[in-house]
């Protein structure tokens, strides 16, 4: 019985020593570490100045969707979420959009737009409905066109 207690104490002590080696963070990096705070070593990609995606696509997305309320944006991960928007001309419909910028290069395949649509039913609740695939493609093309214009205006 003494041997079991000794082994248990040794196991707990070694666990505490390992936790101490993690610089006071036994459960991994803190939220501040994700943005370079907290003294955690940063990768070469995260130490670059600016955002982690194509700046022209980023700016063009913000400009193209400026009529929608911005929910959140992650310039390092390349995700922009927009909150529900209802056109005053069609108050029984609302749309939500998410834009994924997938590359640092200005390319057509570096962009993905998803749109969610809901329609108000007779009881006043919202029901999800399908969005035409062409809608998402048209939005992607609008962003790409604006990004190319921004690129050309800074080049010359």
pLDDT digits (tens, 9 = 90+) for 63-86: 999 999 999 999 999 999 999 999
Average pLDDT over residues 48-76: 90
**Residue 98 tokens, joined:** 């998410």
Whole-number pLDDT of residue 70: 97
Whole-number pLDDT of residue 49: 57
Q: How far apart are alpha carbons 142 and 16 in whole angstroms?
A: 56
CA dist 147 to 93, 102, 118, 133, 136, Å?
A: 29, 14, 29, 21, 16
Mean of per-residue pLDDT scores for the chain: 78
Whole-number pLDDT of residue 52: 83
Whole-number pLDDT of residue 51: 72
Report yes or no: 38 and 28 within 8 Å, Cβ to Cβ: no
Would you tell me how many other CB atoms lie within 10 Å of the CB of residue 144?
19
Place of tokens 């707990």: 12
Answer yes or no: is pLDDT of 3 > 60.
Answer: no
Q: Which pLDDT tens digit goes with each residue over 128-151?
A: 999 998 999 999 999 999 999 999
Would you tell me how many other CB atoms lie within 10 Å of the CB of residue 4?
8
In this structure, the strands spanning 111-120 and 93-101 are antiparallel
Average pLDDT over residues 32-49: 42
DSSP-based three-state secondary structure for 73: strand
The model's pTM: 0.66
Contacts of 72 (CB under 8 A, 6+ apart): 80, 81
Whole-number pLDDT of residue 42: 40
Half-sphere exposure of 18 (CA within 13 A, CB side): 8
pLDDT range class, residue 110, cuts 50, 70, 90: very high
pLDDT range class, residue 156, cuts 50, 70, 90: low
């Amino acid at each position: 019985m003494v041997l079991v207690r000794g082994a248990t104490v040794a196991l707990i002590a070694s666990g505490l020593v390992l936790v101490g080696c993690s610089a006071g963070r036994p459960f991994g990096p803190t939220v501040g570490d994700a943005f370079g705070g907290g003294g955690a070593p940063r990768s070469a990609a995260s130490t670059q100045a600016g955002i982690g995606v194509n700046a022209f696509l980023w700016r063009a997305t913000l400009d193209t969707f400026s009529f929608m309320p911005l929910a959140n944006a992650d310039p390092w991960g390349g995700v922009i979420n927009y909150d529900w928007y209802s056109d005053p001309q069609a108050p029984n419909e609302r749309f939500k959009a998410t834009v994924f910028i997938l590359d640092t290069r200005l390319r057509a395949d570096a962009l993905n737009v998803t749109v969610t649509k809901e329609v108000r039913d007779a009881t006043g609740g919202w029901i999800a409905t399908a969005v035409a695939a062409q809608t998402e493609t048209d939005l992607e093309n609008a962003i790409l066109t604006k990004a190319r214009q921004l690129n050309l205006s800074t080049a010359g």
